[in-house]
């Protein structure tokens, strides 16, 4: 079984191929605010260099937020179109979950702007804090309360340094824990913020 | 801090904007207010030149947002005119608080997204090629961006 993995929910553009539960190839690089220009091209490149045709893909795995407003829509739109056109299942994953450090205690953070963060915490593969938007003052308190947790994310905005994880590897592990959605057309990006 | 100046030609407005542009860094936010034809886009052209952006600057009235990635820093040019009475929930905060410089035309229509300190510029057409530019800096940080230039 061959799966295509897509993530463009933050500063990176990542595409990967999983065959028999193993990552067979991936492309991943910083591409903030430009993923819309490159993602389709990178999928083609990845398929071509692995001598695969679009029709051979058995399912698509995608991160659906919370994260960049446009970013989460890019990968999800591509995933939905592929799911519809090829009639294959779609597996949605939380952006924060795919950034955790598996088998460790970790807090995943991303800039939600206006002095807020997207945050989630994981303790050895178990979820400790659900995906949410948190004021940065609260975030700092939470970090003090959890000193042994490893931090993940581009944390320059908090003047902190976060670890970078292999998102594709994580997606390949976490996809085994989720079921495909019943109706891929109804999957919505998870933005978590209030509307203006 | 509030400062005024007069420019006598388009070229002079561009030169002024170039000088201010040279002092801008990642995360800086400018707003531009003024009627149609006041010279808002001309001002943005000057900032773009200081960033060594080669693309021609055009007003993103239809597109709302235009990004220039080919310069020293990303330049995000937002025109909020069409967001009057519209859904503003389109992710603009990632550009206003983004990885480059944000310039917002018609800021009154996205006030909700501009609760962060920024340099507010107003351009008035005083007839012919005369333009009056008013700069309002909310803090020392932005005051330094214009001090000694005007």
Residues A17 and A61 in one domain: yes
Ordered alpha helix ranges (H), chain B? 10-21, 40-50, 93-96, 140-146
Q: Cis before residue B141, ω within 30 degrees of 0?
A: no
DSSP string, A77-140: HHHHHHHHHHT--EEEE-TTGGGS-TTSEEEEEEEEETTEEEEEEEETTEEEEEEEEEEHHHHH
* Domain of A123, in residue numbers: 102-158
Q: Tell me the pLDDT tens digit for each residue of A16-41.
A: 999 999 999 999 999 999 999 999 99
Is the residue at A192 inside a domain?
Answer: no
What is the pLDDT confidence band of residue A193, given thresholds at 50, 70 and 90?
confident
Which segments within B22-137 are labelled E, that is strand? 29-33, 65-68, 75-79, 101-105, 119-125, 131-136
Residues A127 and A37 in one domain: no
Do the Cβ atoms of B89 and A114 come within 8 Å? Answer: no
Compute CA distances B61 → A23, B35, B36, B82, whole Å.
Answer: 44, 13, 11, 7
Residue whose C-alpha is closest to residue A46's, from A5, A3, A16, A8: A16
Compute, in degrees rounded to 10, the torsion defined by CA atoms A34, A37, A40, A42. Answer: -60
Do the Cβ atoms of B97 and A111 come within 8 Å? Answer: yes
Residues A11 and A90 in one domain: yes
Q: Tell me the pLDDT tens digit for each residue of A116-128.
A: 999 999 998 799 9
B99 touching A, CB under 8 A? yes
Q: Give this complex's ipTM.
A: 0.87
Per-residue confidence (pLDDT) for residue A124, from 0 to 100: 87
Q: Tell me the pLDDT tens digit for each residue of B93-123.
A: 999 999 999 999 999 999 999 999 999 999 9
Residues A84 and A27 in one domain: yes
Per-residue confidence (pLDDT) for residue A196, from 0 to 100: 64
The CATH number of whichever domain residue A114 belongs to comes to 3.30.420.200
Residues A91 and A54 in one domain: yes
Q: How many CB atoms lie within 10 A of CB A173?
A: 16
Q: A70 contacts in B (CB within 8 Å)? A: 91, 94
Mutual angle of helices A69-86 and A35-49, in 10-degree steps:
40
CA dist., res. A171 & res. A79, Å (int):
14
Do the Cβ atoms of A196 and B69 come within 8 Å? Answer: no
Residues A137 and A108 in one domain: yes
Is the residue at A70 inside a domain?
Answer: yes
pLDDT-above-90 percentage for chain A? 95
Instruction: Say whether pLDDT at B132 is over 70.
Output: yes
CA dist., res. A128 & res. B150, Å (int):
54
The more confident residue out of B82 and A125 is B82
Residues A79 and A131 in one domain: no
Residues A154 and A178 in one domain: no
Q: Provide the terminal-to-terminal Cα distance of chain A, rounded to the nearest Å.
A: 43
A135 touching B, CB under 8 A? no
Do the Cβ atoms of A114 and B112 come within 8 Å? Answer: no
Residues A21 and A73 in one domain: yes
The CATH number of whichever domain residue A23 belongs to comes to 3.30.420.40
Residues A12 and A80 in one domain: yes
Ordered domains of chain B (ranges, CATH): 2-146 (3.40.50.300)
Residues A9 and A87 in one domain: yes
Q: B87 contacts in A (CB within 8 Å)? A: 195-196
CA dist., res. B109 & res. B64, Å (int):
12
Which residue in chain B has the smallest CA separation from A70?
Answer: B91
Question: Which site among A113, A117, A188, A191 would you substitute to test the B interface, given the most B Cβ atoms closer than 10 Å to its Cβ?
Answer: A113
A44 touching B, CB under 8 A? no
């Amino acid at each position: 079984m061959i799966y295509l993995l897509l993530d463009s929910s933050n500063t990176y553009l990542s595409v990967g191929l999983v065959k028999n539960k193993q990552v067979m190839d991936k492309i991943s690089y910083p591409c903030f605010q430009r993923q819309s220009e490159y993602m389709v091209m990178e999928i083609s490149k990845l398929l071509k260099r692995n001598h695969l045709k679009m029709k051979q893909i058995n399912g698509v795995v995608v991160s659906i937020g919370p994260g960049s407003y446009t970013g989460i829509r890019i990968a999800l739109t591509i995933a939905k179109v592929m799911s519809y056109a090829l009639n294959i299942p779609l597996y949605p994953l939380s952006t924060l979950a795919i950034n955790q450090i598996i088998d460790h205690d970790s807090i995943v953070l991303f800039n939600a702007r206006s002095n807020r963060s997207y945050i989630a915490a994981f303790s050895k593969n178990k979820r400790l804090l659900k995906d949410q938007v948190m004021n940065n003052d609260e975030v700092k308190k939470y970090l003090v309360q959890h000193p042994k947790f490893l931090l993940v994310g581009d944390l320059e905005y908090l003047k902190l340094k976060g670890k970078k994880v292999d998102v594709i590897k994580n997606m390949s592990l976490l996809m085994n824990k989720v079921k495909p959605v019943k109706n891929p057309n109804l999957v919505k990006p998870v933005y978590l913020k209030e509307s203006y | 801090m509030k400062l005024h100046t007069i420019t006598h030609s388009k070229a002079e407005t561009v030169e002024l904007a170039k000088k201010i542009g040279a002092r801008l860094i990642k995360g800086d936010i400018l707003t531009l207010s003024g009627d149609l034809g006041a010279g808002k886009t001309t001002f943005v052209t000057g900032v773009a030149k200081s960033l060594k952006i080669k693309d021609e600057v055009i007003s993103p009235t239809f597109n709302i947002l235009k990004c220039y990635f080919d310069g020293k820093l990303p330049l995000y040019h937002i025109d909020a005119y069409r967001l009057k009475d519209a859904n503003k929930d389109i992710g603009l905060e990632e550009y206003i608080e983004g990885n480059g410089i944000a310039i917002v035309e018609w800021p009154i229509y996205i006030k909700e997204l501009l609760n962060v300190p920024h340099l507010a510029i107003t351009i008035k057409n005083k007839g012919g090629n005369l333009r009056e530019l008013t700069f309002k800096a909310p803090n020392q940080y932005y005051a330094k961006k214009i001090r000694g230039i005007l």
